[in-house]
Amino acid sequence: MILHVEKMKKPYKIAVIDYRMSNMFSIKNALNMLGFESEITSDRARILASDGAILPGVGSFPEAMKHIKDLELETSIKDFITTGKPFMGICLGFQLLFEKSEEIEVTNGLGIMQGDVRNFLKINDKIRVPHVGWNTIKKNHALDATHSLNPLRDSEDDEYFYFVHSCYVKPEDKTNIYTTTEYAGIEFCSSVLKDNIFACQFHPEKSGEKGIGILNEMFSK
Amino acid sequence: MPLALRIIPRLDIKGPNLVKGVHLEGLRVLGKPESFAKFYYEQGADELFYQDVVASLYGRNSLQEIVSKTAKEIFIPLTVGGGIRSIEDIASILHAGADKVSINTSAIENPELIRSAANVFGSSTIVISIEAIKQPDGHYLAFTDNGRNSTGKEVVAWAKEIERLGAGEISLTSVDREGAGKGFDIVLAKQVMEAVSIPVVVHGGAGDMQHVLELSKQVPVSGISIASLFHYDYILHNRHTDGYEEEGNIDFLKSNRVLSHIDSVSIVELKSYLLEHDITCRKDEKTL
């Protein structure tokens, strides 16, 4: 399983948005390995000057929103997305894009995408949560074929990616659903694709060679 | 389809070396952890588990350098344990590149650490390790410091408390079975799996592939952590003693032999075997 991505310096600078609660180092390590220049930052000017941005995330939704507000990142994130440059959300960084979450207490999110974030345990308290481990995706092939940004174009149905989460996203607009995944009998949205936004529940930076390939695909257009 | 069974190579680390003992004692030096880790990554390991086996005895925390080297070239989750006592310790090991931390001694001494760590870093980052030893009456008690010190805590009750305090996962070691190669303690695994609804990774006892299959058929464990089986396979494929740091007992390594009670199995072989027997595993087209 040796990575076949060309390790060369790319004319691309990626901002890994720092809201002081994530393990951003693994994303930075992956970007380094791929030859991307990257920096972990919460500075508005530096984020906006980047060619691509990633909103990472590990931790709880209410804490994350509090940090995003304290660091005045909300408008920086929204303004970056408006530029049309590739923007990626990972795990909690995917959930934060939606309107609200019921994790711990109902909390408003960034509202960049319509829909909300729900707790697996509200459906069935017998479910083993967090959902940790390798699970498969089912891809919306029509979306993949028509969208110019399609970082999963090399991924097949039933390919494994690494998940760690207790809540899942329920988007309002089903046409944005890029992949779905099943856990404990629940089929949930595991990634969305809309304009310049790709956001996923799984961790590409922790999903081996195929996961790293998604990062490469995302920022090589 | 059930979630894929996680196959997690466990690397016990002492100073700069990968070591392996029996019942967590009698450590032999096997090589450099980074080399084993890279080999396992390329073979399709689902996660890696690093345990600094002396950190909680001598109060040192020497893993950071190894963790940071590993995280630069291995893109699967990495759990690190050994000598973690505080929120600051967790932050620094995560900063070095770990994804999760595993805590035993200080969680037992101060259970509130679990709650505060889960609040700060998120539940899924906090793994609590239980070292279980079966008592003559059939009960299991939790121990610390590689099975040396009894805590008086009953394993199932402690597992429930761990879940209640907000940990995201339990790493369960049977000290009786650890390194013995006689199979897992299935009763122990079943008791803990049924007591909690957070994921449970089971460690200690794999002597061959059948042992792994037997456990996964009988108890729907979230993951199985394996050391010797994989380490001996690595050694058979990469046998050389050059360049090892001369700390600890390397006689075993120089002797060119493999423990008779433990087979050597690669991750690829094990996963193929499990898949043949209808256990869901992550199949990697390139390796399987």
Q: In this complex, which of A130, A182, A212 lies closest to B123 when CB atoms are compared?
A: A130
- Which tokens belong to B108? 């037992």
Residue B245 banded pLDDT, cuts 50, 70, 90: very low
Contact A132 B123 (CB under 8 A): no
Mean pLDDT check: name the lowest of A20-29, A65-74, B19-28, B127-136. Answer: B19-28
**pLDDT less than 70: residues of chain A:** 1-9, 22, 221
Mean pLDDT of B190-194: 98
What count of residues does chain A have? 221
Residue B185 banded pLDDT, cuts 50, 70, 90: very high
- Closest by CA to A89, choosing from A162, A209, A190, is A190
Is the Cα dihedral A204, B82, B198, B168 positive or negative? negative
Residues of chain A contacting residue B3, judged by C-beta atoms under 8 Å apart: 131, 133-135, 183
**ipTM score above 0.85:** yes
Domain extent listing, chain A = 13-218
> Residue A1 has what pLDDT?
41
Query: Mutation test of the interface with chain B: which of A2, A22, A26, A159, choosing the one with the most B Cβ atoms within 10 A?
Result: A26
Mean pLDDT of B196-204: 97
Residue B255 banded pLDDT, cuts 50, 70, 90: low
> Residue B122 has what pLDDT?
86
Residues of chain B contacting residue A21, judged by C-beta atoms under 8 Å apart: 121-122
* Alpha-helix runs per DSSP H in B46-146: 55-58, 64-73, 87-95, 105-109, 112-121
Facing residues of B123 across strands? none
- Closest by CA to B85, choosing from B63, B46, B56, is B56
- Which tokens belong to A148? 């110019």
- The one catalytic residue among B46, B47, B52, B131: B131
Mean pLDDT of B198-206: 96
> Residue A2 has what pLDDT?
46
Mean pLDDT of B190-215: 96
Residue B288 pLDDT > 60: no
Contact B1 A23 (CB under 8 A): no
Transcribe chain A into DSSP letters: ----S-----S-EEEEE--SSS--HHHHHHHHHHT-EEEEE--HHHHHHSSEEEE---S-HHHHHHHHHHTT-HHHHHHHHHTT--EEEETHHHHTTSSEE-SSS-EE---SSSEEEEEHHHH-TTS-SSEEEEEE-EE-HHHHHH-S--TTTT--TT-EEEEEESEEEEES-GGGEEEEEEETTEEEEEEEEETTEEEESS-GGGSHHHHHHHHHHHT--
Count CB neighbours of B238 within 10 A.
Answer: 11
Distance separating the N- and C-terminal Cα atoms of chain A: 25
Facing residues of B127 across strands? B102, B169
Q: In this complex, which of B95, B121, B222 lies closest to A59 when CB atoms are compared?
A: B121
> Residue B63 has what pLDDT?
80
Residue predicted with more confidence, B46 or B53: B46
Residue predicted with more confidence, A198 or B63: A198
Is B198 in the A-facing interface, judged by CB distances under 8 Å? yes
- The overall average pLDDT reported for chain B is 88
- Which tokens belong to B51? 């345990």
Segment holding B27, helix H or strand E: strand B25-31
Residue A22 half-sphere exposure toward CB, CA atoms < 13 A: 28
Spatial separation of the C-alpha atoms in residues B135 and B141, rounded to whole Å: 7
List pLDDT tens digits, range B107-124: 999 999 999 999 888 899
- Whole-prediction pTM value? 0.92
Residues of chain A contacting residue B223, judged by C-beta atoms under 8 Å apart: 133
Residue B243 pLDDT > 80: no
> Is the preceding omega at residue A130 within 30 degrees of 0, hence cis?
yes
Contact predicate A162/A174, CB 8 Å: no
Residue B14 pLDDT > 80: yes
Residue predicted with more confidence, B74 or B284: B74
Name the CA dihedral angle for B122, B58, B49, A17, rounded to a multiple of 10 degrees.
Answer: 40
Domains in chain B: ranges and CATH: 6-276 (3.20.20.70)
Catalytic machinery residues of A: 91, 203, 205
List pLDDT tens digits, range B66-95: 999 999 999 999 999 998 999 999 988 988
* CATH T-level assignment (fold) for domain A13-218: Rossmann fold (3.40.50)
